[in-house]
Chains A and B, each alone.
Chain A
Amino acid sequence: MTPGKLSTYLKNGAIWGFILLELIFFTVAGQFLSLSENAFMDAGNMLLLFKQSAPIGIIAMGMTIVMVNGNIDLSVGATYALSAVVLLDAMTWPVFGGLGDWVIPVACLLAVLTGTVLGAINGLIVWKTGVDAFIVTLGAMLGYRGLVFMYNGEQPTSHLNWTLVDFAEAQFLGLHTATWVLLLVTAAIWFLMNKTVHGRNAHAIGDNREAAVNAGIRVGPHMMINFMIIGALAALSAVVFYAETGSVNPNDGELYELWVITAVVLGGTKLSGGAGSIISTFGGVLAIQLLRKGLAHIGADTSTVNLVIGLILIAVLLLDRQLNVKGKEALKI
């Protein structure tokens, strides 16, 4: 009935179709090429895939709302690393010496707080100066990374807390802790974007900032809240990952911003803002992780993986463009 419905349907479903294609391809190709005994679609392998998707995925949820709002955040990788340093180092601070295992929630909270504050700084600068978020967070990316290096020089920051490791490795209903965090964050951000006033206004600002201003919406606070959300999520992502590994190198999280943006864009969120879906971002995250894992499964090395993901990203965007053009033509008639 509605013109362009088929193309809309195709567009929204495209990422899941793509995931299906990947699964089929890697299962079949795995039969001939894989050195591993296990099938690609092995249950354990898939559970691991979800868990490995978590660090990028959690940040991607925040990136979706920031991008729908019409901004972008390039500083997430550095925020991630700095929050990880705070998490691991805080557990060794003498002030918390008497807390026993209660140091864990305190350290986690401090890490998330660090991320939130870093995000708030980004948001405040974008709001008050009106400088483009791309530039502001590009500066923040370099600056926050500088802080990471100032903290411990070139040395890794390490601290293993075995209670925390146990928690991170726990499985509830078959899913790992990290997977649960990813699912909960996805659900929470979905609610935020689709059911709350903040989500509605953020959407309107990204789609047509002038109309939003003319409707009396205060643009700045909404943008700042979104930067705080993505900062907090970058930190949460660090908590989830470093709870298990217990050691952060000052270079960790580099290029995360690009992986995150790739996943979000694969999920159909527009770089120009105003359109995007949390569920599709989730699909985008899975698609990338599947690709990395699948290519590894059939014996490709990292450089091949990057090349293929790059090509696929461009191909997907081309396809999206074609579908968009088609949709518009249908509307005219």
Chain B
Amino acid sequence: MTTQTPVLQLEGIVKTFPGVRALDGVSLAILPGEVHALMGENGAGKSTLMKVLGGIHQPDEGRIIVGKEPVAMSGPLDAKAKGIVFIHQELSLAEELSVAENIYLGELPEKRFGLVDWNELYARTNRILEKLKVGFDARTRVGDLSIANQQMVEIARALTVDAKAVIFDEPTASLTDAEKVVLFDVIADLQSHGVGIIYISHRMEEIFRITDRISVLRDGEYRGTLVTAETDEEEVTQLMIGRSLDLSRNAVHHELGEVALEVRNLSCHGLFEDVSFAVRSGEVLGFYGLVGAGRTEIAETLFGLREPSAGTIHLNGEKVRIHSPADAIARGISLVPEDRKAQGLVLGMNCRDNMTLPQVDDLKAGPFVAEGSEIAIFDQYRDKLDIRTPGWKQAVGNLSGGNQQKIVIGKWLAMRPSVLIVDEPTRGIDVGSKSEIHNLIRDLAAHGYAVIVISSEMPEVLHVSDRIVAMYSGRVMQTFTSEEVTEDSLIQAISGLTPGQAHQTDTTQLSEGKDIQ
């Protein structure tokens, strides 16, 4: 196999974003007819690498070689024209249009006067669909198809060009077992035609079932390539998480208070099932799992954004029902949401107004906003959290990610909550500010707050948490204390590989696991 010319080669790809070296000299070679797994933790750089490959990002250094020619990709269409095709986990189909129209979107066959040549369109499409052995035809409306069949449409789209390499990004995320078999058959078929395949997934079982080689990324660096037949899950996991985590575990222990929040058998319409946990004041409870495992949905339920379908929530020993964020805030629960720009901040407003948004109604003098008290509150938390801004008049959209996050945290601290939920505390924040936020979270716990931290980054969750809840597909798999947890046990728990429950959970899966970036 090694004597073959790779269909696709990446050489020393470097891509930096302000404050982050997202890719640091990554090289990959995809041989014709192989299925090549690309693995790595969330944030390891897989998505960035694929965006470079698809021409969405331009690499700062390094080369992309298709066949024998170095190429520059200007965008996904350009990549497709060069034979590099992506099957995304997020389907991008026009539901109201037919299968054929979707497959040839943007390149419909034309007759004279710009009329669509429907006969030709349907004939071409049906030829592709026959190859895929699917049970629908070219005229079917895409919106009427199942998710699995919609994915087949995406794959069919890939087959309209002479594909040299096809990239599957978490393709089985929303498929049943039977549908997976069909997908794997299609992949095998592509393989036999000499197409190189990059297969991105977190699911070890699939990786070992269908791939030939496994390449691992960690922290934007290429960590090595293993031959699937000669390795095992243990070795891959080690390569993914590394042994030298420079973030020390949280070692500081302090007195824990009473149970501040307890959740018993909470379920929410298939998003998560039968979730129970408790968090004491002074404690940081970490939630770790893949995106889509139900962690954010639990936070949203506690904050009154979703109604639970079963189970109870107890605050300071008292059973409560929370119907809206206003309810949650009044009871002392605060949420720092995962997407601070879309959910946490009013970007057009200044720092002060954002900081006092939840309590501006309590601060009024007559019908008017008490701007003096607002400025006092802003100053207090700016100093406390070391928020770097020229002044309160600064529009919050102009601040760095770290400072924006501090504004959101300050906003809630000013409300004096008893439970603070922080969803992805450091997403999109540079490395320096990350540790500041981590220290801040530890500090809050030390001051008696009950803190829940949801994170997709293992070092982070290990670093800040006193206990860690591992979730997979909407269920709590295991709860670890910071003494007993290991990277291996954690990654196995969130991949659904916990002893005894391994593999079977895949079939009873409730919602898809997705990569974040």
Contact = CB atoms under 8 A, between A and B. Distances in A.
Interface of A: 2-3, 195-198, 200-201, 203-204, 207-208, 210-218, 274-275, 331
Contacts of A200: 353, 360, 369
A286 B358 CA distance: 37
A214 B398 contact: no
B344 A331 contact: no
Contacts of B368: 195-197
Given A2-B390, A218-B324, A275-B348, 15 more contacts: A2-B394, A196-B368, A197-B360, A200-B369, A204-B353, A207-B346, A210-B342, A212-B346, A212-B357, A213-B325, A216-B329, A216-B330, A216-B358, A218-B326, A331-B398
A201 B367 CA distance: 13
Which interface residue of A2, A211, A274, A331 has the most chain B CB atoms within 10 A?
A: A211
B229 interface: no
Contacts of B326: 216-218
Interface in B311-343: 324-326, 328-330, 335, 337, 342-343
Which interface residue of B303, B335, B343, B349 has the most chain A CB atoms within 10 A?
A: B349
Contact of A204 (B342, B349, B367): B349
Contacts of B349: 203-204, 207
A69 to B, nearest CB: 13
A324 B118 CA distance: 43
A205 to B, nearest CB: 9
B345 interface: yes
Nearest to B395: A2
B369 A214 contact: no
Contact of A214 (B343, B353, B394): B343
Contacts, number: 76
B343 A210 contact: yes
Contacts of A208: 342, 345-347
Contacts of B367: 196-198
Contacts of A204: 346, 349, 353, 357
A207 B347 contact: yes
Contacts of A216: 324-326, 328-330, 358
12 contacts: A2-B390, A2-B394, A196-B367, A197-B369, A203-B349, A204-B349, A207-B347, A210-B343, A211-B346, A214-B335, A215-B325, A216-B330
B58 to A, nearest CB: 16
Bin the interface of chain B by size: 20 to 34
Nearest to B326: A216
A217 B362 CA distance: 12
Contacts of B335: 214
B93 to A, nearest CB: 25
Nearest to B300: A214
A197 B343 contact: no
A180 to B, nearest CB: 23
Given A197-B364, A197-B369, A215-B357, A207 B325 contact: no
B345 A211 contact: yes
Interface string B360-395: 110010011100000000000000000000100010
A212 B329 CA distance: 13
Nearest to A210: B343
Contacts of A197: 360-361, 364, 367-369
Nearest to A196: B367
A331 B397 CA distance: 10
A292 to B, nearest CB: 32
A201 to B, nearest CB: 7
Contacts of A196: 364, 367-369
Contacts of B330: 216
Given A197-B360, A201-B360, A214 B348 contact: no
B46 interface: no
Nearest to B411: A215
Contacts of B357: 204, 211-212, 215, 217
B79 to A, nearest CB: 25
Contacts of A217: 326, 357-358
Contacts of B369: 195-197, 200
Contacts of A212: 346, 357
A274 B360 contact: no
Contacts of A3: 398
Contacts of A211: 342-346, 357
A222 to B, nearest CB: 11
Contacts of B390: 2
Nearest to B340: A211
Given A195-B368, A196-B369, A214 B360 contact: no
A207 B346 CA distance: 6
A207 B348 contact: yes
A68 B429 CA distance: 31
B355 to A, nearest CB: 11
Contacts of B364: 196-197
Interface string B224-252: 00000000000000000000000000000
A203 B357 CA distance: 11
Nearest to A205: B346
B344 A214 contact: yes
A200 B326 CA distance: 17
A150 to B, nearest CB: 38
Nearest to B356: A200
Contacts of B344: 211, 214
Nearest to B363: A197
Nearest to A213: B325
A196 B324 CA distance: 24
Contacts of B337: 214
B332 to A, nearest CB: 12
Give the top 4 A-B pairs by smallest Cβ distance, nearest first.
A216-B326, A216-B329, A215-B357, A215-B358
Contacts of A274: 346, 348
Contacts of B348: 207, 274-275
Contacts of A214: 303, 305, 325, 335, 337, 343-344
A213 B335 CA distance: 12
Nearest to B353: A200
A206 to B, nearest CB: 9
A269 B344 CA distance: 23
B322 to A, nearest CB: 12
A218 B328 CA distance: 13
Contacts of B358: 215-217
A247 B43 CA distance: 70
B176 to A, nearest CB: 33
Nearest to B345: A211
Contacts of B305: 213-214
